[in-house]
């Protein structure tokens, strides 16, 4: 379903921001991002630019798209080693719109997906970007979330088993059975759930396309975006997701990897190098990393299948209707778990990056 500002809602936003000294006068808005989740708008009064984040139009799943929760987490990270935009204002549902939203500062710079900008395209800058990505993830996982006031943000104890159960229920039948095409990966994950490696703020969608880069060398990150799924949980899930979304030459691309194919250019670190860097910075034991990577791929398959069903019912984003999107994640999950014959694996050896990092599933 498409949503955009009406004359009335824009006037209400103008008054709301003017009262708080954020902007002054008539506003223009422009949608930014892919629009498949929360909606993001660049808002300008002709002098200052800010960003407004709001949920998609209803219906939305219960508990999803909590804008004020997202704003609270970003505000808690302000001043940490994790670069974020500044939260400027928040609005409860019914105050301006029929949904809650928040306003944050505009951070200029490229968001890279398919191609690195020319200004950052030297192999040295590409490598710096890749290392900055994993260093920022490591920094996030080392934030003292209790001291930051986020003690009630999640339940880290039992995160792995609970996450597996909760996500599985999105696509299970009335008797709790997974769809047939999910069953092998589902069983593999359930049979080998590791104890939590620790407790940290986890982004839950950390990848190249969810950061803003500095526009000029050296390659660096100026803001991390899209915190809507963030919680307190096992930091190795975040690492597994990040690496699972990081393309490898010669391997089929999943939809999330298609949003980061710039890393196939010369200079970007390999998955193995990124895992090694993370372990060196955090001291994490990566012996179970393959399980977390498989969980991330399986979770993406679940979310895309859930989205596909909603699209078929006419209440979701049509982007998710394609069954092939779901299958691409399941194929990658089976490969990660070793559930496919080695004869159909690519020459790049899908699990080699785990072993490169000195780990073993």
Q: Which two tokens stand for residue 137?
A: 């993830």
Rounded mean pLDDT, 35-40: 76
How many CB atoms sit inside 10 A of residue 205's CB?
A: 20
| Dihedral over alpha carbons 8, 13, 15, 16 (to 10 degrees) | 140
Topology of domain 7-105 in CATH is: Phosphorylase Kinase; domain 1 (3.30.200)
Q: What percentage of the chain carries pLDDT values higher than 70?
A: 91
pLDDT in tens, 250-268: 999 999 999 999 999 999 9
Q: Whole-model pTM above 0.85?
A: yes
Rounded mean pLDDT, 101-122: 96
Domain with CATH 3.30.200.20 in the chain: 7-105
Using CA atoms, how far apart are residues 161 and 195, in angstroms rounded to an integer? 9
Domain 118-356 -> CATH class = alpha beta
Rg of the chain in Å (alpha carbons): 21
pLDDT in tens, 144-200: 999 999 999 989 999 999 999 999 999 999 999 999 999 999 999 999 999 999 999
Closest CA to 23 of 11, 36, 9: 11
Domain with CATH 3.90.1200.10 in the chain: 118-356
pLDDT in tens, 59-78: 555 555 589 999 999 999 99
Closest CA to 95 of 197, 210, 159, 16: 16
- Band (pLDDT 50/70/90 cuts) for residue 344 is very low
């Amino acid at each position: 379903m498409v949503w955009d500002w009406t004359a009335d809602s824009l006037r209400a936003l103008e008054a709301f921001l003017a009262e708080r000294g954020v902007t002054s006068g008539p506003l223009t808005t422009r949608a930014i991002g892919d629009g498949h989740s929360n909606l993001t708008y660049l808002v300008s009064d002709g002098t200052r630019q800010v960003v407004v984040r709001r949920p998609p139009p209803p219906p939305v799943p219960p508990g999803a798209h909590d804008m004020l929760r997202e704003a609270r987490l970003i505000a808690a990270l302000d001043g940490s080693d994790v670069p974020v935009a500044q939260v400027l204002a928040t609005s409860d549902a019914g105050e301006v719109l029929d949904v809650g939203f928040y306003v944050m500062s505009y951070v200029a710079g490229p968001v890279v997906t398919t191609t690195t900008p020319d200004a950052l395209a030297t192999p040295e800058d590409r490598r710096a970007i890749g290392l900055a990505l994993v260093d920022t993830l490591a920094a996030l996982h080392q934030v003292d979330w209790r001291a930051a006031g986020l003690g009630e943000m999640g339940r880290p104890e039992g995160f792995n088993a609970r996450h597996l159960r909760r996500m599985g229920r999105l696509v299970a039948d009335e008797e709790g059975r997974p769809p047939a095409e999910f069953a092998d990966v589902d069983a593999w994950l359930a049979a080998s759930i590791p104890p939590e490696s620790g407790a940290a703020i986890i982004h839950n969608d950390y990848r190249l396309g969810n950061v803003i880069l500095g526009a000029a060398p050296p390659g660096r990150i100026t803001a991390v975006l899209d915190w809507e799924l963030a919680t307190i949980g096992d930091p190795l899930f975040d690492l597994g997701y990040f690496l699972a979304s990081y393309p490898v030459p010669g391997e089929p691309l999943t939809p999330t990897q298609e949003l980061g194919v710039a890393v196939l250019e010369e200079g970007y670190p390999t998955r193995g190098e990124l895992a090694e860097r993370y372990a060196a910075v955090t001291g994490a034991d990566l012996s179970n990393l393959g399980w977390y990577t498989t969980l991330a791929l399986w979770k993406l398959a679940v979310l895309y299948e859930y989205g596909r069903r909603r699209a078929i019912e006419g209440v979701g984003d049509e982007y998710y209707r394609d069954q092939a999107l779901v299958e691409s994640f399941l194929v990658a999950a089976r490969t990660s778990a070793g559930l496919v014959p080695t004869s159909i694996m690519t020459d790049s050896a899908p699990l080699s990056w785990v072993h490169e990092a000195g780990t073993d599933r």
